[in-house]
Amino acid sequence: MPYYNSADIVKDLKRILSNPNVQSDRLRYRNVILRVIRHMTEGVDVSPLFMEMVKASATVDIVQKKLVYLYMCIYAASKPDLALLAINTLHKDCSDPNPMVRGLALRSMCSLRMPGITEYIHQPVLSALRDKASYVRRVAVLGCAKMHALQGDSEIDGALVNELYSMLRDQDPIVMVNCLRTLEEILQHEGGVVVNKPIAYHLLNRMEDLDPWGQSEVLTVLSRYKPRSEEELFDILNLLDKFLKSSHPSVNMATTKLFLIFTKNFPHVQEDVLVRVKGPLLNICSSESRELSFVALCHIKQILHSLPGHFSAHYKKFFCTYSEPNYIKYQKMDILCELVNDENIQHILEELKGCCTDVSPDVAQAAVLAIGRIAQTYNEKCIDILTGLLGLNQENITSAVVQTFRDLVWLCPQCTKTVCRALPGCEDIIQDSEGKQALIWLLGMHGDEIPNAPYILEEFVDNIKTELFPLVKMELLTAMMRLFVARPAECQDMLGRLLYYVIEEETNMAVRDKGLLYYRLLLVGIEEARQVVCGPKSDPSFGVLGEHTGESVSAWVQHFNTLASVYSKEQWACLTARNIPDQQAVNVVSVPSETDTENETGVSSHFQMPPCTLSLKADAQIQPNEFENTWMKVEATQILTLEWQGEVNKEAMQTALQLVNIHTIAVSKMGTKPWKAYLYGVDDSQTVFLAELLQCNDNTGITVTVKQSSGQKDLLDYFLSVLETVIKTVRDLGPCNQ
């Protein structure tokens, strides 16, 4: 078979689809359409076949309709004119006697990504909400959510919301759940579905009819209901009690969260709930799905914050297996550290000791650090294990052990002598920056208890020129100063050599500045230097493992069964904190404040201006030749010169303009003399605004020329003020944009 490129493939398919003999053969016609879909999924641009595919939708073959509708949904945005033909076909199919065809047509129509689609789908969606077939109603309810998303920030349709509330009593349970999801989406800025007593009781009565995912959705909504009395509260809990034993993780976790929220004033009941959820959580930890196991482990860690030792009797469930991914092993080791007590300490330490020789260096280091956490309570047993690990002479393990020793002597000064005896010899094995810093810190801080500490540090001083890590050099400076104060005769010469190199030859300014600081400190006097560099050697006040008090359940219950349990509350707050610029109206420009967030180019993504009737389109498009013709025809209506120093960062300027829906049609490269940029904007009344930015040759200002297709001066003045504010904003950001 000869090789066909994309153009040949499309040409061949177009010829076959237009063949009357193929169209008359139902199976053959479907196979050709299958070929089109296959090539589409392989990345071939088959959009030229749009007209033929629209014709292929006129069939009673439901499979063929599905394939054609899939094609339409993909290419409607690139063929908006021809897509109108597809919309007419879909409109017709929305009235088909077959409910499968009606639902399929409505779902496809709501999935078309093209401008102005809302006006075409509004009436079919409203009509389908009252369709006799439950499948069509399911699709129509979800279509309401899509329609709301397409409308953006426009006002909520109160009649539609009331209709969806009434459909919560639909006989089909899936329609009811879809109504909940759609109302949550539409009313998200108002807090979601309002759950009053009639709605709550109706949802409770329908729980048995729902599938597990529907049950979890209803339970999530019900958790916002506030019972009127204690009797009503416990009646609801008794009704939902059996769902605590559900084998479906989503239902079980949603029920647990509802119970914990409802019983916030009954701490003893909350503890009973957490005891009952212990078994299901442990079962999820043993799930074949690694993702489910990880989420369950995160929730167990959350529970342990309130009930330390809650899972102590089941500590063996958290032993690692060789086939588990690293992220699960990390969670299990953290949990084991929380479950340590006098009865299981030996078994847990043996498990962690085995993990120290894991094939993954990261897991091995995590296990060593876990033993170090336990060592804060059980010193002798853990230090014996850590000292024995040094005998393996493995670089990553030795580095982790030394880092653990550094933290341990700071929190537990009684371990210092044992640690100091184990340090000699480690300097020949450790190669990474963190391990070297920990070893040097120990030698400098406790060098008076290590006989050969000056000679170990001397090796680092002799190799200072080949040291790659500036932090190691800075740690070495501090350690030598401390050791010089304690043992001056042995350290004087090497400290002098180190300071000479750092001050005269070191290229890293941070290291050089620290060396100059210590040199000038020594000039002041030894006692003054001692007071500066010789601080406390330990601080047990940080606390030890097992002495923390558990926080209340109410502190984390709102984050239970959410991604905040996986990311932690702080990280989740950062991930969900975002400023979304208004894409519909230009009421979003002002000089940024200190609290405004900035994007990659340093331009603030949060502006504010007085409200105005001007509303620029985010998707406006003008061709270059159209821009040029309009620019030549219209005389300059406004000219303004703004101060500007230095070159213009075109990326920062374009980013700021995009935030207010002002588009760039042409822009000069940075450094071009003179620098120019041509801009345009189109408002809802189809008024076109054109602008030219021209930087003076001496880089002391920017001349702004604005033209308008109509004579509405108020709109022109506002457009100019928006443009002026954006330019001033980018200018005031200054060096961060250069």
Confidence of residue 734 (pLDDT cuts 50, 70, 90): low
* Virtual torsion, Cα 203, 209, 211, 212, nearest 10 deg: 60
- Summarize pLDDT for 80-96 with one digit per residue, the tens: 777 777 788 888 888 88
**Which 3-state string (H, E, C) describes 211-272?**
CHHHHHHHHHHHCCCCCCCHHHHHHHHHHHHHHHHCCCHHHHHHHHHHHHHHCCCCHHHHHH
**What is the Cα–Cα distance from 611 to 618, expressed in whole angstroms?**
18
Report pLDDT digits (tens) over 648-706: 777 778 778 877 888 888 887 766 777 888 888 888 777 888 888 888 766 678 888 88
Residue 547 tokens, joined: 């002495």
Query: Do the domains at 6-238 and 340-541 have one common CATH topology?
Result: yes
Least confident among 463-477, 517-531, 687-701 = 687-701
The single residue listed with the structure tokens 């709930």 is 273
pLDDT of the residue at 543: 53
Residue 175 burial by Cβ neighbours in a 10 Å radius (0-12, 13-18, 19+) = buried
Indicate whether 507 pLDDT > 60. Answer: yes
Give the dihedral sign, CA 705/707/711/713. Answer: negative
Q: What percent of the chain has pLDDT over 70?
A: 91
Q: Where are the domains of the chain?
A: 6-238, 340-541, 624-737
For residue 391, how many other CB atoms are within 10 A of its CB? 11
Q: State the Cα–Cα distance between residues 180 and 141, nearest whole angstrom.
A: 9
Query: Backbone phi, then psi, for 694, in 5-degree steps?
Result: -130, 115
H or E segment and range at residue 202: helix 197-205
CATH 3.40.50.300 fits 6-238, yes or no: no
- Tell me which of 254-263, 432-441, 499-508, 586-595 is least confident: 586-595
CA distances from 139 to 105, 108, 192, 212, 725 (A): 10, 10, 21, 20, 46
Give the DSSP letter string of 263-297. TTT-HHHHHHHHHHTHHHHHHHHT-S-HHHHHHHH
Q: 597 pLDDT exceeds 70?
A: no
* Rounded Cα gap, residues 335 and 344, in angstroms: 13
Residue 163 has pLDDT above 50, yes or no: yes
What distance in Å separates the CA atoms of residue 103 and residue 142, rounded to the nearest whole number? 11
Confidence band for 586, pLDDT divided at 50, 70 and 90: very low
What average pLDDT score do residues 426-433 get?
91
- Evaluate if residue 35 carries a pLDDT over 80: yes
Domain 340-541 of CATH type 1.25.10.10? yes
DSSP letter assigned to residue 683? B
Q: Is 552 helix (H, G, I), strand (E, B) or coil?
A: coil
Q: Residue 550: pLDDT band by 50, 70, 90 thresholds?
A: low
Answer yes or no: is pLDDT of 737 > 90: no
- Whether 533 has a pLDDT exceeding 70, the answer reads yes
Looking at the predicted structure, is the pLDDT value of residue 317 above 50? yes
**Mean predicted lDDT score pLDDT of the chain:** 85
> 454-461, long-range: CB within 8 Å, 24+ apart, which pairs?
454/483, 454/487, 454/490, 454/491, 454/494, 456/424, 456/427, 457/483, 457/491, 457/494, 458/494, 459/427, 460/427, 460/436, 461/494, 461/497, 461/498
Calpha distance 537→482 (Å, rounded)? 11
Q: How far apart are CA 251 and CA 228, in angstroms?
A: 25
d(CA 479, CA 701): 54
Return the pLDDT at 718.
Answer: 79
607: pLDDT confidence band, cut at 50, 70 and 90?
very low
Mean pLDDT of 251-264: 93
For the ranges 408-422, 458-472, 723-737, the lowest mean pLDDT is seen at: 723-737
Beta carbons of 608 and 590 less than 8 angstroms apart = yes
* Position with higher pLDDT, 308 vs 659: 308
Amino acid at 615: S
Which of 136-150, 221-235, 329-343, 614-628 is least confident?
Answer: 614-628
Please write down the HEC assignment for all residues of 236-252.
HHHHHHHHHHCCCHHHH
Q: In what order do the strands lie in the sheet with 638-643?
A: 638-643, 701-708, 688-695, 676-682, 663-667
Query: Distance between CA 183 and CA 162 in Å, rounded?
Result: 10
Q: What pLDDT is stored for residue 382 in this prediction?
A: 93
Judged against a pLDDT cut of 70, whether residue 8 lies above it is answered with yes
What is residue 738's predicted lDDT score, i.e. its pLDDT? 40
For helices 197-205 and 230-240, the axis angle rounded to 10 degrees is: 20
- Listed residue (89, 95, 97) closest to 64, CA to CA: 89
Pairs from 695-699 (Cβ < 8 Å, separation ≥ 24): 695/644, 695/648, 696/644, 697/673, 699/644, 699/645, 699/646, 699/647
Q: How many CB atoms lie within 10 A of CB 52?
A: 20
Q: What is the CATH number of domain 624-737?
A: 3.30.310.10
- For residues 684 and 617, the answer to whether their CB atoms sit within 8 Å is yes
Helix axes 6-17, 26-41, angle to 10 degrees: 160
**Structure confidence at residue 164 (pLDDT):** 93
- Residue of 648 and 205 predicted with greater confidence: 205
Above 90 in pLDDT, residue 460? Answer: yes
| Pairing, β 663-667 against β 676-682 | antiparallel
State the pLDDT at residue 518.
94
**pLDDT tens, 610-654?**
344 567 887 788 888 788 888 888 776 788 888 777 777 777 787
- Are 322 and 355 contacting, i.e. CB atoms less than 8 angstroms apart? no
List Cβ<8 Å contacts ≥24 apart for 189-193.
191/224, 192/221, 192/224, 193/221, 193/224
CA-CA distance, 518 to 512, in Å (whole number)? Answer: 10
pLDDT band at 188; cut points 50, 70, 90: confident
> Higher pLDDT residue, 513 or 727?
513
More confident: 61 or 540: 61
